[in-house]
Structure 1
Amino acid sequence: MAEPPATAAVPAAAPVFSLGRLFPLYVAQALATGATTVSTILAALVVGNLGFESLIGLPATLISASAALSAGLFGALMLSRGRRVGLASAFALGAVGAGLGFAGARAGLLPVFLLGASLMGAAQGGYQQARYAAAESVPDSRRGTALGLLMLMSVAGSLLMTGFSGGVERLGERLGTTPEVAGWLVGGGLLGVAALLMVGWRPVTGPAQRVAGGRPNLAATFRLPGVRSTALALATAQGLMVTLMSLTPHRAHEMGVDHAGVAALISGHIVGMFGFGWLTGPLIDRLGVRVGYVGGSALLAAAALTATLPGTAWLGVSMFVLGLGWNLAFVSGSKALSRHPAAQGVTDGLGYVAAGAGTLLGGLVIARTGFPVLAYGCAVLAVLPLWSAWRAGRGVNPEAGPAAR
């Protein structure tokens, strides 16, 4: 019997936009961002302080590789058991990983620290899919807004932990270690609270969809028009953002920027990533995903180029613009892919592969030729989402409806 043709997934009845029902999800995302701010983002500094300068890109690579491997598995778990089980499991795994990372870094045991970082990465592969849970919980015409609000809540977590940087430093002093190491212990606590929130959360809806022919099929989904170009935009944005985000703090550290200064750079970056979700989400709902792809591409290229300019102030500009460019491309791609849960985990996995390769190769490039060469390469790669914009402009887009122009 011939296999029925691939058909786009059809969502269940559109839910009502209820902020009260989404609030636990938003708070958990804020806690996860705060945990990342004080732990994995500074992993390169931890490895450098342990005396392994040539391996500063390795933690980010392991984090991305673990996330790439776990994203599809968590996606399948959420398809079969629901978002609540998948997200609670991911946050709990992150708490365990953060605890191991703290123990390894404090004891000076690089393998244990890297194991903890890997578990943190595997957790990210799961809880970063919370954005799809938010999108599924609102009508199609409000999905960009829901995604934007989720990102806005993430700023609260980052700013909270930046404001608490003095407390992290004091905790490090009491424990006889550095603030970068103490942050992993704090991050573990935050992720533990997020896991508890998810245990008590009741999703408005689930990722299950009605699909012609039965359960969503991965190969059939990727054959749908526009799905592959959407995956390209998401993977490119994620890869470039993580590469520059992970390696720019090391450049700042070499320029003499202290811990508080590096934390400020990261906060500016997080504000760019998440702080304008209240604007970019509704904008993409109104103007379509093509605007997000074009704007994201331009800003990602600008971020890479400004990072090469002299002076630490330009590093701050670069980190902020990097976050904003990622925001535009990521909200657009996530909105477009929200109807296709079979492709979500795998697409996230591709993004983590791009990020892992970027950080690993980026560290080698910096060691051999310097940071500017890496930045110029990233600027060239930033044009790739323009192909996704072209496909969306031709009406080839996985997101049905008038918002996907």
Structure 2
Amino acid sequence: MIYFDNSATTKPLPEVLASFQKVSQEYYGNSSSIHRFGMEADKLLRKAHQQAADLLGVKSKEIIFTSGGTEGNNLAIKGIALANQHRGKHIITSEIEHPSVLASCKALESLGFTVTYLPVDQTGVVKVKDVEEAIQKDTVLLSIMHINNELGTIQPIEEIGQLVKDLPTTYFHVDDVQGFGKTKLKLENSGIDLYTISGHKIHGLKGTGLLYVKEGINLFPLFHGGTQQMNYRSGTENLAGAVSFVKAMRLIVEHQKNHQDYLVDLHEQLRKELTVIPEVKINTIEGQAPHILNFSIPGYKPEVILHALEERNIFLSTKSACSSKKSVDSAVLKAINLPRDRTRSALRISLSYQNTAGEIELFSRSLKKVIKKLSQTMG
């Protein structure tokens, strides 16, 4: 099997599964209980907080374990907006954010907030100048993703961070669900106030993730109940999920450090293979995230191509998994003004460190055969 849909979800690593099972079996006490079993669980939870913080270069009290990217984005956006609405009700984001960001902003609009949705240029990148011009006195939040989940474009997070760094009432949230472990982004002294990552995108388990919240920032919680995680996320903590998530974080950081050019080399090979296929139009510009490549085959329905490849045991996607069952048009590709025959025929390949050059070669040969067979049928 060739699995090229890693931006939708990744295969959990054996070490991650083993850590989850061990903690579930041996540390099943409630970390809020005051008996020894509970205290042991609490000690392990604190250790997971510290290890996650060390990997990100932040403080342990700045880590909130969540159920993944969607919860993290919702907590960051709604939490900041509702806690700071006395200061202002203006939010800035981009047109190509993840649905969890866009839907959160839409929900806040129904509560009286105003949202500026910044356009992107033809490469899919937000202009820093547009961000600067959009900031108002009552802007309480700016939310821009690091890596786009469909195109793989890298947003100018460092520049935007420096832009808002000295604005005490405007907080900066970065969705790095697609970037962590593949494209470097430093949190220390970056201007980033909130930062989201997800476990199942880095060979961890579904239902795990974290939100970094810079010290001193106040959030309005989504969940009310107990006092867990500094009152920001009530409910008995998923200790096994947190520990296994940190394991996944550590492993992918090690892969990134020890194999810096691996994904870059795979991406270049993939681009070369696709470039020589006349029917293929590559939508992702060069020099972007190394693990995502978006392309179109105008005149062919993407789901037909996808299922034809699936019959050959090759798996990729038509677009973001969160919106792949909706409209055939890609909103992200429409935002960069691609013609409709390309927005309606787009496919996405998303790689991991587990993919190989041999898989790319086999995929390329298979795609050529699929296109040839379909063209004969259509002819």
TM-score (norm 2): 0.30
The structure, 1 or 2, with the larger RCO (C-alpha pairs under 8 Å, 6+ apart) is 1
Task: Tell me which protein shows more helix as a share of its residues.
Answer: 1
Task: Tell me which protein shows more strand as a share of its residues.
Answer: 2
TM-score (norm 1): 0.29
